[in-house]
Structure 1
Amino acid sequence: MKLVLSLLSASLLSAANAKASNNIERIQVQGDFRQTNIMDVPSHVTLIDEAQIERRQAQHLESIYQSLANVNFSAGASRGKFVQIRGIGERSQFTDSINPSVGMTIDSIDYSGLGLGSSLFDINQIEIFRGPQGTRFGNSAMAGMIHMMSTAPEDQSITKLKLGVQQYGGKQLNIANTGPLSDSLNYRFSYSQFLHDGYQENQFLRRIDTQGFDEQTGRFQLAWQASDTLKLHWTTHWMDFDNGYDGFSLDNTRRTFSDKPGQDTQNTLAHALNAKFSGFNLFDLESTVTLNDTETQYGYDEDWTYPRFHPDGYASEDHYDRKHQQLTLDSRAISKTPVFSGRTDYIFGLYTSHKENNLNRKQSYHSEETTQQVALYSQLDTRLSRDLTLITGLRFEQYQSDFTNSHQLNLKHQEDLWGGQIALHYQIHANQSVFARWSRGYKAGGFNGEALSKAKDNPHFADILAKHGDFQAETLISRELGLKGVSQDQNLQYQLTFFHSKRQDMQVKGWAIEASEHDFTGFIVNANGTNYGLEAEFQFQVAQDLELSAAVGYLKTELKDFVTSTGIDQSGREQAQSPNLSYSTNLLYDITDAFSFNTTIEGKSAYYLSDNHDTKTDDVTLLHADITYQQTQWQILLWGKNLTDETYPVRGFYFGNDPRDGYTEHAYYQFGAPREFGLTFTMTFE
């Protein structure tokens, strides 16, 4: 690694005196209420464009998380489905439904909590909003928001074909086609398939694909200029993810011995219709209706072994089959002409959502939950002077859920929630600005259905679980101070943000574990916490043929008022999934007009894997590189990931599961991808 860093430094020094002439593009944020230049948004937003996705050979969103400052993820599944921003976010989902702290949308369709389907082929832009997004996204975005957009239909016929092969039996086929159907109607279709054996070897079954990937994604769009004042945009998503799950071994290696490896699947059919009407004099009207119909299956071999391995005959598997349906309507009026002496632009909106979640668990358990949300929101952008703008936002939401299960529980929960922001944005000069932001995010409370059910039936847990029938809504109060700018020659773009957040009634995962009975029950309890730190990003066109970019995150967190079910007081300890340091550097060097070299170094410091025990990861640094040969209509890319073959966990548990050591409690890990090489070929037809 020292050699790599020395080579990078030498490359930079040799190019430092070269004249830079390729200006960095200033890209637009699409996920805010209005399309806005990233330099004018009063919060920290990271944008990943299609070119960056291609250079990373990112098949799935989990490949992007490693490169982001103060963003982390956990697996415990075939993919990293659970994301944390600034140390806040869930790490798993088992029996009970969850309200995600970090929301996710793809083409305005809500995929919060459904991160498995985040395939990246034909995604044009990814936007990562840090901090509470209470005004814009509400209950699902207390810690932040991930907003993804497919490439839009075009008015000329273009076909893109991408083929790839890689180690461990990896193969990919991707095709996209766009063009006009008439003078006013354009379409776009894309299809992606990814096959891979995975990185585990099941020695009991003598298979190498029990943690394999079989992922298909299709997207279809129609963009219609129906009249001079009306634009309609239709989107359909189809996803068929049929992955295996065999991630843990009693020996903490990539060799497993499970006789009934699990699965991790997602089948989705989702639609969105967006209408923009500009026929009113005072404001534009924009409405989006979405429907997401998703079924997931998640299961695993609980004992991680084969029959008769356990002397007491213990053998178990668990499966969670879910049906998720969500219908949403989001309508807003967006001002054309400023009001109040021509100083204030406004947005007023109405959001409604109806969501149904049904669970069938293998162990004779069934539950149904219906959630209704209605929200009113508004944002005012007031120019106090030529260079100073005041942004105020407010969202008021009514949240209601009804829950029943096979243990004769019939529960209802209703509460009023609110969030918003007050921000000042000052334009120092044309290319530099500062902002100060106070924001309030929220996440609804609820009940622990599994704990309430177990309290009735299991004497081991009755005392513990009876105390944890429900939990309160969590509130996040955040203060941010940021600096953004672009150099005068347009070759340097940067963001620097300091933040301090207080988590009030933070929702923490607790566990009741009865090792001798091989019984585990999770539940949510309330605590408090503090999160603060900074993010810094820059992109620098060092020379005409050399571009350098970097992102660094520093994070300090603290748990308060949290005692585990075993009586351990964790107050004062850092929160789980919260590395103090996260970083990424990327160097892109155009060797010739046709050849380019790209390398990335990314990593994070050690962090706790749970709030309930003190198991930590080690520091990790990963090195990736690729070489591209580019012609007008085609390219070949040779890439390598994790070139130093680091072994690092992406999920961890602490309990006793091995009869060979008398079920002594210790840490078990699921590991990230090892070193891997691949080759992709891309061709574009016009």
Structure 2
Amino acid sequence: MTHRLTLAVSIALALTTASAALAQPSDITEEIIVTADFRQAQLLDLSASASVIDAQTIKSRSAVHLDDVLNTAPNVNFSTGASRGRFFQIRGIGERSQFVEPINPSVGLIIDGIDMTGIGGGATTLDIQQVEILRGPQGTLYGANALAGLINMVSGAPTESFEGELNTTLAEYNTRTASGVVSGPINGQWGYRVSLSQHLSDGYQSNAFLGIDDNADYDEQTARGKLRYQPNADLTLDLTALYIDVDNGYDGFSLDNTRTTLSDEPGHDRQQTAAGSARLEWQATDAYRLIGLLSHANSDLEYGYDEDWAYEGLCEDFECVFDGYNSFDNYLRDNRHTSADVRLVSDNAVDELGWVAGAYYRDQSEDLRREYTYFSEDFLSEFSTENRALYGQLDIPLAQRLTLTTGLRFEQREADYADSDGAVFAPEEDMWGGKLALEYRDARDHRWYGLVSRGFKAGGFNSSQSIPAEDREFSTETLWNYELGWKASALDRRLQTQMALFYQDRDDVQTKQSLVQPNEGDDCPCSFTDYTTNAASGSALGLEAEVNWQLNPMTEVFASLGLLDSEFDNFESFAHVKADDETGEPYDLSGHDLPHAPNYQFAVGALFDLTEHWYARVELEGKDAFHFSSRHEAQSDRYELLNARLGYRADSWEVALWGRNLTDELYQTRGFGAFGNDPRNGYETEPYYQFGEPRILGVDATLWF
């Protein structure tokens, strides 16, 4: 931890010195506005650690899903175990998978005001103008589903004049993407925006048994419609409709730890979502505004996989120590949720008292059907939750350049669960979170802040009757976040920097464990029963820094760095691979890194306007090795990925060549350790991995009108 802290301080001092030496007063650059906060604010005016991934970054990578760009933000990670990276982690906190049990997400996901938390497979990037990532607990703003932070995806708004865009992409692995956007006014009060896209690809896996190379294919369609009603300057109503249809293949793990599988029943990862939101903003008086948000989403999800990763008759073609087994596991979920948020927001000058007061309601239901080869009947469960909250915030000017911000949220949660095995749970709990921030703006308008915030994550239960009685329920997790930050601009705002140094203290850390039980007799193959329990505590110390610098009219450079030292405190695990089953002694995980929490993560790149029409963009991203789970010692490899784009841009069209992972780095996005699934070696335990995207080259063509 010491050498990483030294590096963090060194970077902070270097950036502070550079900004101080180069500071100048004028403002010629376009401001980045963060919409996820109570008040829309410029990124450099937000007293919190936040990143914004803009439309240019999304386009430069030909990104079609959030997981294509997420690595550009410091201390943000994701896990697969599916066709997409649909589980997110911020500062080492976040879920990594979902099977039978309902989950309480740690990272919130909002798309155009629609709460998509927990169903990140639908985070496609059609017409997305920016992705806002708020790091640290959002206990006042978003409550129980944002313990680690929030991801807010914002698409384009209706325009005052007619405009449109058509885009098509062709790439390796039979990849084809087509999208279109049209936007404009209907009349003096109404405007519209409509966007459509379809993404098709054979994917990056092959199946030697079936003789196919599209067993992990992509078939993703997105449609979005927006209406804006603005009868006068005091009233705005935004309506959004969203439809997502994902029908992807999933065949991610191989007995040989390669991208070539032997499955006889390749799996699938499907999502069909119909959703909508309404946002009303009314300037009720000169003193305050009323903001109301209402959203509803109905999602049908299906996730299934060949559990044995092989074909029936494998042991007839290969020499096996034990006879193989053959099974398929399939999960069908009907996920529905509605959320409503109403708040009053004061309109005040910088040196005046500001306030926010609001009320929140969220209703969610999730019905599960599990179809499994060894079940005589399908497993069924019904789960529902209701969350109600009151919250408020005060911005108190203490002096001309000094402001104190206080926030508090009180939230009540009721849950009901019942399943076909006879398990019934009905927990209720009260939770609270908030923040206290002190902000100072110096004479150069640089912003310094100190922040203490508290987040919370609801407790829950484990439904399986094989789980010991004392582990059937687990407690609410809480997180205290202590943060120091600095944000500044210089060189006529051509140089922009932001930095945050933080320490997080977690209590009753919710973590996944597994029970391993032989199916018959004492020999494997074994069944694995996941369950959630509480570690006593955990902590993390880290740094986040971002720099954007317009060196000259032709060159822009940008970089981000995340350092993270996270660990469990006072946690003894019976489920860890090193626990002693014979003596009953657990394995002490105190000091062990948290899962999916690399010690460092970086992205650096440059954009070159080579001529009036030609441009080039080069990016390098990387992250340290990280553990996949607290149940075993399997780790990813450290890796660096090189991405590039070369384009020609005219007044109304553009053509570009692009590549991702140009050095064809082999890296892992999900892993299992101490796992035996190969009858050829007698089900000896070994690590297995799902791999990230290989090198892919493509061409884009865009037409504007």
State how far apart, in whole Å, the 2-side matches of 1:228 and 1:65 are.
36
- Does the 8 A contact of 1:330 with 1:351 survive in 2? yes
Q: C-alpha displacement at 1:432, in angstroms?
A: 0.8
Q: C-alpha displacement at 1:228, in angstroms?
A: 4.5
Secondary structure of the 2:177 match is strand
State how far apart, in whole Å, the 2-side matches of 1:421 and 1:146 are.
19
State how far apart, in whole Å, the 2-side matches of 1:609 and 1:408 are.
32
- Does the 8 A contact of 1:196 with 1:213 survive in 2? yes
Q: C-alpha displacement at 1:226, in angstroms?
A: 3.2
Secondary structure of the 2:637 match is coil
The counterpart of 1:662, out of the listed 665, 675, 682, is 682
Q: C-alpha displacement at 1:367, in angstroms?
A: 0.5
Mark the runs of 5 or more structure 2 residues left unpaired by the alignment: 1-25, 316-321, 373-377, 519-523, 580-585
Question: Which residue number corresponds to residue 704 of structure 2?
Answer: 684
Q: C-alpha displacement at 1:518, in angstroms?
A: 2.4
CA offsets, 1:50-70, max 9 Å, x none?
A: 112111221110011222211
Secondary structure of the 1:54 match is helix
The counterpart of 2:443, out of the listed 411, 415, 429, is 429
- Does the 8 A contact of 2:603 with 2:621 survive in 1? yes
- Does the 8 A contact of 1:244 with 1:262 survive in 2? yes
- Count of aligned positions: 653
Secondary structure of the 2:331 match is strand
Secondary structure of the 1:384 match is strand
AA aligned opposite 1:366: L
CA offsets, 1:586-618, max 9 Å, x none?
A: 111111010011000000011111111111112
Q: Confirm whether residue 365 of structure 1 aligns to residue 379 of structure 2.
A: yes
Q: Confirm whether residue 298 of structure 1 aligns to residue 303 of structure 2.
A: yes
- Does the 8 A contact of 1:492 with 1:541 survive in 2? yes
Q: C-alpha displacement at 1:490, in angstroms?
A: 1.4
Question: Which residue number corresponds to residue 577 of structure 1?
Answer: 596
Q: Confirm whether residue 147 of structure 1 aligns to residue 155 of structure 2.
A: no
Q: Confirm whether residue 479 of structure 1 aligns to residue 482 of structure 2.
A: yes
- Does the 8 A contact of 1:431 with 1:487 survive in 2? no
In the superposition, the TM-score normalised over structure 1's length comes to: 0.93
AA aligned opposite 1:589: F
Q: C-alpha displacement at 1:671, in angstroms?
A: 0.2
Q: How does 1:15-34 map to 2 (within 5 A)?
A: 24-34=29-39
The counterpart of 1:521, out of the listed 524, 529, 539, is 529
Q: How does 1:381-460 map to 2 (within 5 A)?
A: 381-449=395-463, 451=464, 453=465, 455=466
Q: Confirm whether residue 614 of structure 1 aligns to residue 636 of structure 2.
A: no
Question: Which residue number corresponds to residue 642 of structure 1?
Answer: 661
Secondary structure of the 2:471 match is coil
Secondary structure of the 2:56 match is helix
Percent identity of paired positions between Structure 1 and Structure 2: 42
The counterpart of 1:546, out of the listed 536, 555, 561, is 555
AA aligned opposite 1:580: N
Q: Confirm whether residue 325 of structure 1 aligns to residue 336 of structure 2.
A: yes
Question: Which residue number corresponds to residue 263 of structure 1?
Answer: 268
AA aligned opposite 2:680: R
AA aligned opposite 2:682: G
- Does the 8 A contact of 1:378 with 1:394 survive in 2? yes
Q: C-alpha displacement at 1:80, in angstroms?
A: 0.4
CA RMSD of aligned residues (A): 1.5
Question: Which residue number corresponds to residue 84 of structure 2?
Answer: 79
Q: Confirm whether residue 284 of structure 1 aligns to residue 278 of structure 2.
A: no
AA aligned opposite 1:524: T
Secondary structure of the 2:130 match is strand
Q: C-alpha displacement at 1:229, in angstroms?
A: 2.9
- Does the 8 A contact of 1:343 with 1:384 survive in 2? no
CA offsets, 1:145-188, max 9 Å, x none?
A: 00011100012111110011000000001000111111110000
Q: C-alpha displacement at 1:677, in angstroms?
A: 0.2
AA aligned opposite 1:180: P
- Evaluate the alpha carbon distance shift between residue 228 and residue 489 of structure 1 in structure 2; reply closer, same or farther with a 3 A threshold: closer
Secondary structure of the 2:72 match is coil
Q: How does 1:102-501 map to 2 (within 5 A)?
A: 102-309=107-314, 311-337=322-348, 343-363=352-372, 364-449=378-463, 451=464, 453=465, 455=466, 465-501=468-504
Question: Which residue number corresponds to residue 649 of structure 2?
Answer: 630
Question: Which residue number corresponds to residue 504 of structure 1?
Answer: 507
State how far apart, in whole Å, the 2-side matches of 1:635 and 1:309 are.
51
- Evaluate the alpha carbon distance shift between residue 171 and residue 333 of structure 1 in structure 2; reply closer, same or farther with a 3 A threshold: same
Question: Which residue number corresponds to residue 586 of structure 1?
Answer: 605
State how far apart, in whole Å, the 2-side matches of 1:120 and 1:503 are.
33
State how far apart, in whole Å, the 1-side matches of 2:274 and 2:347 are.
36
State how far apart, in whole Å, the 2-side matches of 1:350 and 1:630 are.
48
AA aligned opposite 2:472: G
- Does the 8 A contact of 1:549 with 1:585 survive in 2? yes
State how far apart, in whole Å, the 2-side matches of 1:488 and 1:596 are.
23
State how far apart, in whole Å, the 1-side matches of 2:416 and 2:552 are.
60
State how far apart, in whole Å, the 2-side matches of 1:174 and 1:225 are.
28
- Does the 8 A contact of 2:639 with 2:667 survive in 1? yes
Question: Which residue number corresponds to residue 19 of structure 2?
Answer: none
Q: How does 1:556-571 map to 2 (within 5 A)?
A: 556-562=565-571, 563-565=573-575, 566=579, 567-571=586-590
Q: Which moved more, 1:580-589 or 1:507-516?
A: 507-516
State how far apart, in whole Å, the 1-side matches of 2:172 and 2:491 are.
45
CA offsets, 1:534-579, max 9 Å, x none?
A: 0110001112101100001110011123213243221211111111
Q: C-alpha displacement at 1:517, in angstroms?
A: 4.4
CA offsets, 1:250-296, max 9 Å, x none?
A: 00001001000110011000011111111334321110111111110
Q: Which 4+ residue blocks in structure 1 deviate beyond 6 angstroms?
A: none
State how far apart, in whole Å, the 2-side matches of 1:424 and 1:680 are.
46
CA offsets, 1:7-51, max 9 Å, x none?
A: xxxxxxxxxxxxxx9954331111101111111111111011111
- Does the 8 A contact of 1:176 with 1:189 survive in 2? yes
- Evaluate the alpha carbon distance shift between residue 605 and residue 313 of structure 1 in structure 2; reply closer, same or farther with a 3 A threshold: closer
State how far apart, in whole Å, the 1-side matches of 2:491 and 2:167 are.
38
State how far apart, in whole Å, the 1-side matches of 2:371 and 2:554 are.
57
- Evaluate the alpha carbon distance shift between residue 337 and residue 313 of structure 1 in structure 2; reply closer, same or farther with a 3 A threshold: closer
AA aligned opposite 2:341: D
State how far apart, in whole Å, the 2-side matches of 1:410 and 1:612 are.
27
CA offsets, 1:194-221, max 9 Å, x none?
A: 0000000011111111101000000000
Question: Which residue number corresponds to residue 17 of structure 1?
Answer: none
AA aligned opposite 1:255: T
AA aligned opposite 2:671: G
State how far apart, in whole Å, the 1-side matches of 2:367 and 2:440 are.
48
State how far apart, in whole Å, the 2-side matches of 1:448 and 1:206 are.
40
- Does the 8 A contact of 1:338 with 1:346 survive in 2? no
CA offsets, 1:55-101, max 9 Å, x none?
A: 12211100112222111111000000111111111110110011111
- Does the 8 A contact of 2:27 with 2:492 survive in 1? no
State how far apart, in whole Å, the 2-side matches of 1:63 and 1:313 are.
37
CA offsets, 1:113-168, max 9 Å, x none?
A: 11001111201111000001111111111001000111000121111100110000
AA aligned opposite 1:26: E
- Does the 8 A contact of 2:108 with 2:151 survive in 1? yes
- Evaluate the alpha carbon distance shift between residue 313 and residue 675 of structure 1 in structure 2; reply closer, same or farther with a 3 A threshold: closer
- Does the 8 A contact of 2:295 with 2:339 survive in 1? yes
Secondary structure of the 1:679 match is strand
Q: C-alpha displacement at 1:190, in angstroms?
A: 0.2
State how far apart, in whole Å, the 2-side matches of 1:625 and 1:159 are.
26
- Does the 8 A contact of 1:22 with 1:544 survive in 2? no
State how far apart, in whole Å, the 2-side matches of 1:431 and 1:345 are.
20
Secondary structure of the 1:222 match is strand
Q: C-alpha displacement at 1:316, in angstroms?
A: 0.6
Mark the runs of 5 or more structure 1 residues left unpaired by the alignment: 1-20, 456-463
Q: Which moved more, 1:273-282 or 1:384-393?
A: 273-282
Secondary structure of the 1:467 match is helix
State how far apart, in whole Å, the 2-side matches of 1:184 and 1:526 are.
54
